[in-house]
Amino acid sequence: MNIAMTEFVYLLPEIWVLSMACVVLVLDLFLADRNRVISYWLAQVTLVGALALTLAVGSGESLVVMNGTFVTDPMATLLKAFIYIVTFGAFVYARGYLQDRDLFKGEYYVLGLFGMLGMMVMVSAANFLTIYLGLELLSLSLYALVAFNRDDARATEAAMKYFVLGALASGMLLYGLSILYGLTGSLEIAVVESAIAVQGLQDVVLIFALCFIVLGLAFKLGAVPFHMWLPDVYQGAPTAVTLYIGSAPKIAAFAMTMRLLSETLGGLHADWSGMLIILAVLSLALGNIVAIAQTSLKRMLAYSTISHVGFLLIGVLSGTGEGYSAAMFYTLTYVIMALGGFGMIVLLSRAGFEAENLDDFKGLNERNPWFAGMMLLLMFSMAGVPPTVGFYAKLVVLQAAINVELVWLALVAVFFSIIGVFYYLRVVKVMYFDKPEDSAPLACAMDLQVTLSINALAVLLLGIFPGGLMALCASAIA
């Protein structure tokens, strides 16, 4: 099979990121420590270039190229654009943190770029092999990033847990995909979907494959009961790594879920929606209840992530275009909120001190009223308090559930969301009503302060004017 050279145009963003990651990898070997910032700036230039190329090659219509392995469509363009923006913010937040701990090395940015390349491949996958290639590239980069601080026993332990459980989940997903290949004789998503429609839906082996695929997806999303890695990894990894793991990869996991469940196994919606209902309810319950008992802000945000995955799954399991676009909107806005939350931890941290406990936020309003206000916006948005974007994101997901007559599930989600408000408001309480344990002024780079302010204000702005992003999500799904 021949591939026309014109088809490589659609792969320009991936080719650019791969080339620049290799440039940073090689160039960093010859840089003195005082010039290490060059690697940082090259990584940021890579992200800007990738965004420009993605917008340039995005045609606004769905097009499958490279012999059915790669798809460019509005969903891929939108998700990739957000991946670049979020990764850009993560790199800005990480720079000062890494410099203070003598971890400012090119490897962080190289692994970050290779991980992002894996996300891009997952988002544009039109073939099972492409999905698995992107997933493994992302996973291997994340395993290494978690263990980035080799002298930290907690980070090493977290990386080992993540590696073992991640490898197990990847194997389960691969097993499910291999069964689909055996049943249909193809690895292409479009061909498999057509074959399933022709063969009928009553094949027990098909349901067996579906179970393994849902299991693998649930692990990558961090849904209960496959969540056990998430709190340990979030807490054990350096905060600069946690904010990367807790943000952009969620977009790639959502894309993989859409490619496999909606596009490949859409005909089995009645079967996988029931599985997702169980995962959603368990995630909402355990995530919100266990988060209340946490004193570590990183662990609290980890369990918060689990509860937000429950909402994301509600949008997906509805099986409608409205539900898919609501789930996409929820994913994109949650990633912005999570990035800001971990960015605040980086802001309060300094050399020799990790501001990862709730007590470290005591009296923040007295130390810096502006950033106390920014954290308040982020916590209110995660809790779903209007007029922040978190409220609208929850609203559209609940509306999608109600429209498919899952009113009881919407009520369950509302009930556990009310429970979740408690631990978010606890952060606000310690910032505004407790005396600071540390009266030292916040000392951090101007680019971190500006980026974090934009990050938090975006949460408010998107809440007041959600229509633009919601319209983009709806057009990307259509």
Listing DSSP states for 68-107 in one string gives TTEEE-HHHHHHHHHHHHHHHHHHHHHHHHHHHTT---HH
Pick the more confident residue, 68 or 290.
290
pLDDT of 217 above 80: yes
Nearest to 378 by CA among 274, 328, 452: 452
Cα 111 to chain centroid, rounded: 16
User: How would residue 239 be classed by pLDDT, with cut points 50, 70 and 90?
Assistant: confident
What confidence score (pLDDT) does residue 64 get?
Answer: 85
Cα–Cα distances (Å) from 71 to 58, 109, 220, 396, 419, in that order, read: 11, 27, 22, 28, 41
Read off the pLDDT of each residue in 405-428 and give the average, rounded to a whole number. 91
Q: Could you check whether the bond before residue 225 is cis, i.e. omega within 30 degrees of 0?
A: yes
Cα 341 to chain centroid, rounded: 14
Listing DSSP states for 449-471 in one string gives HHHHHHHHHHHHHHHHS-HHHHH
Poorest-pLDDT segment among 333-342, 344-353, 380-389: 344-353
Q: Name the 3-class secondary structure at 65.
A: strand
User: How would residue 206 be classed by pLDDT, with cut points 50, 70 and 90?
Assistant: confident
Q: How many other CB atoms sit within 10 Å of the CB of residue 225?
A: 12
Longest dimension (CA), the chain: 69
Q: Name the 3-class secondary structure at 147.
A: coil
Give per-residue pLDDT as tens, 71-81: 998 999 999 99
Structural domain span for residue 252: 5-477
Q: 15: exposed, middle or buried (C-beta count within 10 Å: 0-12, 13-18, 19+)?
A: middle
Total number of domains in the chain = 1
What confidence score (pLDDT) does residue 352 get?
Answer: 60
Pick the more confident residue, 317 or 58.
317
pLDDT of 140 above 60: yes
What confidence score (pLDDT) does residue 200 get?
Answer: 61
User: How would residue 351 be classed by pLDDT, with cut points 50, 70 and 90?
Assistant: low
What confidence score (pLDDT) does residue 201 get?
Answer: 55
User: How would residue 1 be classed by pLDDT, with cut points 50, 70 and 90?
Assistant: low
User: How would residue 17 be classed by pLDDT, with cut points 50, 70 and 90?
Assistant: very high
**Residue carrying structure tokens 């002298």:** 151
Q: Return mean pLDDT, the chain.
A: 88
Give 127's strand partners. 188
Listing DSSP states for 243-304 in one string gives HHHTSHHHHHHHHHHIIIIIIISGGGHHHHHHHHHHHHHHHHHHHHHHHHT--BHHHHHHHH
Read off the pLDDT of each residue in 176-201 and give the average, rounded to a whole number. 83
In one-letter notation, the amino acid at residue 195 is A
Nearest to 389 by CA among 474, 456, 464, 305: 464
What confidence score (pLDDT) does residue 132 get?
Answer: 92
What confidence score (pLDDT) does residue 65 get?
Answer: 85
Pick the more confident residue, 331 or 203.
331
Q: 176: exposed, middle or buried (C-beta count within 10 Å: 0-12, 13-18, 19+)?
A: buried
User: How would residue 255 be classed by pLDDT, with cut points 50, 70 and 90?
Assistant: very high
Nearest-10 Cα torsion for 77, 83, 84, 90: 170
Nearest to 364 by CA among 390, 381, 344: 344
pLDDT of 215 above 60: yes
CB 240 within 8 Å of CB 98: yes
What confidence score (pLDDT) does residue 149 get?
Answer: 83
What confidence score (pLDDT) does residue 397 get?
Answer: 93
For CA atoms 461, 467, 472, 473, give the dihedral sign.
Answer: positive
pLDDT of 414 above 90: yes
Q: Cβ neighbours of residue 432 under 8 Å, at least 6 residues apart?
A: 364, 365, 372, 376
Q: Name the 3-class secondary structure at 174.
A: helix
pLDDT of 92 above 80: yes
Nearest-10 Cα torsion for 6, 8, 10, 13: -140
pLDDT of 340 above 70: yes
Q: How many other CB atoms sit within 10 Å of the CB of residue 350?
A: 18
d(CA 214, CA 275): 8
What confidence score (pLDDT) does residue 337 get?
Answer: 92
pLDDT of 3 above 80: no
